[in-house]
Structure 1
Amino acid sequence: MRFFLIPILLMFVSPIFADVMRVTILGSGTPRPDINRFSQSILVEAGDEKLLFDAGRGATIRLSQAGINIKDINKIFLTHLHSDHTLGLPDLIMTGWIYQRSQELQIFGPAGTKDFVKNIKSAFFEDIKIRTVAPENHTLAGLSTSTTEIQEGLVYKKNGVEVIAFRVDHGGGVEHAFGYKIIYNKKVVVISGDTNYSDNLIKYAKNCDLLIHEIADAPLKVINNNAKVQGLMNYHTTPSEMAKVINAVNPKFTILTHILALGGISISEIHNKVLSSVNKDYRIEMAYDLMAIDIKENIQTYSIDYSNEK
């Protein structure tokens, strides 16, 4: 009789050691739907903590592809309330039932977050009502949330992990936009959120191990002849501004995400503009979905492989 070994492992994710901080880019895109670049979401794993920063479109899908059980996500930090950073939040809240989330989902965000979360639950009232009766008989525990509206400063501290919020300037009438600084085992990750050039970000990010920063660009002719594109450049960080940020911060590694490439400019062109403008040989890469970064003495990057096959 012959025996055949059938491969059933659909995903490879290396184990995390206690002294390692792992960052996974779940979404590196913009508000535009893109199967390869979902909207903004970043997972930070540090010791026993799994911290989600923003929850853009498709966050639960990318978490699943990264081998993360949704019930293990119980802390979300929102940079601001734009849709490309929050469309995945209703999914994360409601999917807690399916995965039997037992811990309260803690949501941290700017002013307006409490009403935002309350309105999500109101929008799903009919679904909630049906699922709490026979035959499903779910309890409300899986939907339990708490919301904290943050100010600049320390917003979370547990199990050796600190999360510090700092204000950034997203322009365009956005009054409350934040970046985050995460500290664990003497390693520092800084997430910009959406911002234009920010001296405050530079202050908080100085000499960090990993800087994850947004970027936007378009051909000069397009910028000069299109008022809408001009406005978008004012709300975001251009390659020349990004180079100034990197020169001032001096990060060990920079990842550029939320890649807003307009008017036909390519992602590689944006990358090269930044590389050619910094004042030394900094390590700078463009983010992609399911890019993982392990931060220890040396910073290593790799792609999370997954398969849709059953």
Structure 2
Amino acid sequence: MEKLIVLGTGNAQAIHCYNTCFAMKKGEEYFLVDAGGGNGILSALDQASIPLEHIHHIFVTHAHNDHILGMVWMIRMIGTAMNKGTYKGNLNIYCHKELKDTIKTLTRLTVGKKFHKYFDDRMLFHIVKHKDQKEILGDLFTFFDIESTKEKQFGFSLQMEQGIKLAFPGDEPYHESLFPFIEGSDWLLHEAFCLYRDRDIFKPYEKHHSTVKDACQLAQQLNIPNLVLWHTEDKDIAHRQENYQKEGLAFYTGNLYVPQDQDILTF
């Protein structure tokens, strides 16, 4: 992968930014991770100048609405492009076993048959299991179960062709059992529900999330040089980046990124 395009940075309740999802670019192709909670994914892709015709790989982490509902729109629009003959090749969807049925059911309940008729024909589901490895766009992905107690969820580590390693443990705090997948990473993409000082307001621990302080202490402990924080609240989004940087850099000495929607990170 060459670039990471941040399509959304907000948690499920965010209204001033889109739900957290992102795309990684390799050549002219894109690997999409989650699709957010609605048709905002289409606007996000349009703003980022990412053509649907160049998305042939999508990974869906889990079934929470702020990650999966945008898939209905992706399938509808790519199905439309397939019908018109403008979408070449297949759409590959990577997810755990239960999620396959959920995506299919949501789509069939809300989208006409002419759009989802390509299921298991040109819209192919690839079931990922714990420790599965798959080469996608020339880079090696290792998928892993994050051991969520809320909803079955998978993350991945990515060994890029150019030697860079990236780890994405989903939208919950890192567990020590995941160390083999995170160890030696150059980049960690980690959720940070809110500032530590605001923990009594947003109650991240009750929701199985972490704070900026927690995520930064973790990255410092694991000696990870580049940390990206997202999946946040959005109550003061105008000052979110400044405030999160200030708290985080008191605990982390690496490169700390608190992106806004549509920011681009280059590897």
TM-score by length of structure 2 reads: 0.84
Deviations 1:221-249 (A, max 9, x none): 762xx7xx446555112233212321133
Amino acid paired to 1:153:
K
Task: Identify which of 238, 253, 261 aligns with 1:289.
Answer: 261
Distance 2:204 2:265 in 1: 33
Amino acid paired to 1:162:
L
Deviation of residue 271 (structure 1)? Answer: 2.9
The aligned counterpart of 2:232 is 259
Task: Identify which of 73, 82, 90 aligns with 2:55.
Answer: 73
- Aligned-partner SS, 1:96: helix
The aligned counterpart of 1:8 is none
Distance 2:137 2:199 in 1: 49
230 and 101 in structure 1: CA distance in 2 versus 1, 3 angstrom threshold = same
The aligned counterpart of 2:164 is 187
The aligned counterpart of 2:173 is 196
Task: Kindly report which structure 2 residues correspond to 1:148-297, keeping only aligned pairs within 5 A, or say none.
Answer: 148-171=126-149, 173-174=150-151, 176-185=152-161, 186-217=163-194, 223=200, 229-230=202-203, 232-260=205-233, 267=240, 268-278=242-252, 281-295=253-267
Name the % identity.
Answer: 19
Question: In the alignment, is the contact (CA less than 8 A) between 1:197 and 1:236 conserved in 2?
Answer: no
221 and 31 in structure 1: CA distance in 2 versus 1, 3 angstrom threshold = closer
- Aligned-partner SS, 1:166: strand
Distance 2:137 2:197 in 1: 48
The aligned counterpart of 2:5 is 24
Deviation of residue 218 (structure 1)? Answer: 5.3
Amino acid paired to 1:80:
H
- Aligned-partner SS, 2:141: strand
The aligned counterpart of 1:112 is 98
285 and 187 in structure 1: CA distance in 2 versus 1, 3 angstrom threshold = same
Deviation of residue 149 (structure 1)? Answer: 2.7
The structure where helix makes up a greater share of residues is 2
Deviates more, 1:72-81 or 1:246-255: 246-255
Deviation of residue 115 (structure 1)? Answer: 1.0
Deviations 1:68-109 (A, max 9, x none): 110221211112111111121011100014433232221111
The yes-or-no answer on 1:146 pairing with 2:146 is: no
Amino acid paired to 1:272:
K
Distance 1:94 1:102 in 2: 15
Question: In the alignment, is the contact (CA less than 8 A) between 2:194 and 2:212 conserved in 1?
Answer: yes
The aligned counterpart of 1:128 is 113
Asked which structure has the greater CA Rg, the reply is 1
- Aligned-partner SS, 1:259: coil
Deviation of residue 255 (structure 1)? Answer: 1.2
Distance 1:203 1:231 in 2: 26
Deviation of residue 275 (structure 1)? Answer: 1.2
Amino acid paired to 1:75:
H
Distance 2:265 2:48 in 1: 13
Deviation of residue 64 (structure 1)? Answer: 1.7
Deviations 1:23-56 (A, max 9, x none): 1111111112534x21121111234642111111
Task: Kindly report which structure 2 residues correspond to 1:44-59, keeping only aligned pairs within 5 A, or say none.
Answer: 44-47=24-27, 49-57=29-37, 58-59=40-41
Amino acid paired to 1:183:
Q
221 and 120 in structure 1: CA distance in 2 versus 1, 3 angstrom threshold = closer
Distance 1:121 1:154 in 2: 26
Question: In the alignment, is the contact (CA less than 8 A) between 1:195 and 1:235 conserved in 2?
Answer: yes
Query: Please, which runs of 5 or more residues in structure 2 have no aligned partner?
Result: none
Cα RMSD, aligned residues only: 3.0
